[in-house]
Structure 1
Amino acid sequence: MQNNNEITKTLSAHHVSLSYSEGQIINRMQLAIPAKKLTVILGPNGCGKSSLLKMLSRIKHPDEGCILLGKENILKMNSKTLARELALLVQKPELPEGIEVIELVSRGRYPHQKMWQQWSLDDETAVQEALFATGLTELIHRPVASLSGGQQQQVWLAMVLAQKSNILMLDEPTSFLDIRAQLLVMNFCLSLRDQGKTLVMVLHDINQAFRYADNIIMMHEGKIVAEGKPEDLANPDIIHTVYGVNTTIITDPESQTPMIIPKKDPSIEPLYSFS
């Protein structure tokens, strides 16, 4: 478990741009991810959310600008050194055929391995702690493919947890999960935050973001439109700028956080009638 007093390096982007063949997707963006907080990136499809996450984790290289971890440019860092600081769980990762839970979680220890080093006590402890934290200790010899969607997501989370990185980045970790599995994942992420981890995730569910996030980044067309605490961004004008919909904002009776309710809008009616 991480000590809350441990110093976590700040991950920041400085005037970064990214283009694909179809055009620019990120446009000279600047941001700093708050340490030991849960940050959620929101925005419509195609606005650059996942691309930003991939740049922050060095999966994609910016066309210009730089990403810093502390004062170091992540492009100049050794791969294993970076992986010990930062872990990324992509959306719908490819599952190796026939792999068991214990094997997949153990792969999280790769950044800590050396060519001449055998499996260590630190490795074993990290894996067992990750399995316990995610409630998987009774499933270690089950093929991951035989588990439910929620359980599979817990296995992937256990793998990145075993990596012992201070910063965890998750791309749509609750997509395709039922409501109970979503709650398990999000509550687990809160517990990691409370242990001193820095979390950055992309979500599509705006109310899930407003319920769980400490910090929200709202994107539109490759730019940050607004950033801040959920209560500061619960503004119909901001929501309309980002999503193009009119909304009413109420207080969630369960969590006392902002809840976004879309208004009925004739302009969003189906283009064709099937009657």
Structure 2
Amino acid sequence: MDARSPAASPRQGHVLHRFANPGQFLRLSGKVLPWLYWPGIILTVIALVWGLFFAPNDWQQGDTVKIMYVHVPAAWLASAGYFSLAVCSFISLVWRHPLADLAAVEIGPVGAGFTAVCLATGSLWGKPTWGAWWVWDARLTSVFVLLLLYLGHIALVRAFDDPTRGYRAGAILALVGVINLPIIKFSVDWWNTLHQPASIGLTGAPTIASSMLWPLLFSAIGFTLLFAAITITRTRAAVMERRIRSLLMAQASSATEQEAVS
């Protein structure tokens, strides 16, 4: 076992570096993007039309419940996006991959956008249901904290003249903020809140009618594909921007050396 360990470690590192290579990323992502954008758009349109116009109303909330076809996927991606941000931050701190830094920077605005949509649609849902646009409910408050963590990460990675220092500071903030994710998930179980418990879980049968469940699942899948597509597109743009900047700096340095020689 010990004799194989030294060989296994470099091989694992080689594989990780190969998939994190910017050139390899550009090639693979270029092939993957069409399979994310078009299915994501089609599924989202189908889900919204199905949910808003053909799914039944709730017997208590009426047609107000149809906000969930946007609110629930946005809420799911708010947390999932932050988890992916934390994973990229961990990879950045441990293996120092520049691509992980760029991915974390680009996930932040996308995740913040979905979190803002979650809070906005939650307020629209809460007004007719609770009689108020906003209450300091445990679930709402923890999601609001999540938005602040996103915004803090966005600001922190851009707060330093040295980008590397910004990446490190943002990565630390992202990893510390992970503690908020289980609070969001279990807030309705740990505290007496106005927010309803989850209707879909991994351990039990859904408590939502199938006529409402299917368009919701379609919407969640469509939103997830679009989240991934937008994030990858932004990361591709960041990689190409860095390459262009490096090329321009190399040309400027070469021109300066030629002038000095002449």
Q: TM-score range by the shorter chain?
A: under 0.3
TM superposition score normalised by structure 1:
0.27
Q: Which has the higher helix share?
A: 2
More strand by share: 1
Kindly name which structure, 1 or 2, has the bigger radius of gyration based on alpha carbons. 2
Q: TM-score, normalised by structure 2?
A: 0.28
Which is bigger in relative contact order (C-alpha 8 A, separation at least 6)? Answer: 2
